[in-house]
Amino acid sequence: MVVMNQQTTAVRTEPDRAPSLLLSILVSGGSDNTLVTNLVLWAGAALTVVTAVIHFHLWSDGYKTIPTIGPLFLLQAIVGVVLALGVAALRRFWTAVIAFGFVASTIGGFLLSVTIGLFGFKDSWSAPWAGGAFVVEIAALVLLAVGGCLCALRSVPGRRTGPPAGSPSG
């Protein structure tokens, strides 16, 4: 890559090392990993809120009249927001695991509902927001799993997470 300095002369720099830098950040456990972990967990939390909002919308748009399913949609909306706030604020392994389990159970409930029925109610893939909510939940699941793994890597005993030993700030 060629970069122009202040005197407008060409200066040759090293080739783009972004892919190897990203990989090293993801596996290093260093302070850069904390930023990546936070971003992944915040994204997972945001998608958990999106699925909660979808469930609240569906609840208010008619699902509230369905016995058992209606209250579960409202409960999903409330718990989804609470868990998402916990993940976003605390950014810990255990919060990611709990939110992962919650989103996985939401997906499981939907799949049961469309295949064999759940609590006497059979849903459909063609129902409003069904496909969209499913995609959002799968994405949230992936992000929460990755965020949880990054948290776990960050907390491995004996793993140094600060600057290298002997550095001025170490």
Q: How is the chain split into domains, by residue range? A: 34-154
Confidence band, pLDDT 50/70/90 cuts, at residue 154 = confident
Tell me if the pTM is above 0.75.
no
The whole-number pLDDT of residue 26 equals: 45
- The CA-CA-CA angle for residues 46, 52, 54, to 5°, reads 105
The whole-number pLDDT of residue 57 equals: 97
> How far is 47 from 142, CA to CA, in rounded Å?
11
The whole-number pLDDT of residue 20 equals: 57
The whole-number pLDDT of residue 124 equals: 94
Give tens-digit pLDDT for 24-73.
Answer: 544 444 455 799 999 999 999 999 999 999 999 999 999 999 999 999 99
pLDDT at 10 over 60: no
CA-nearest of 26, 22, 42 to 149 is 26
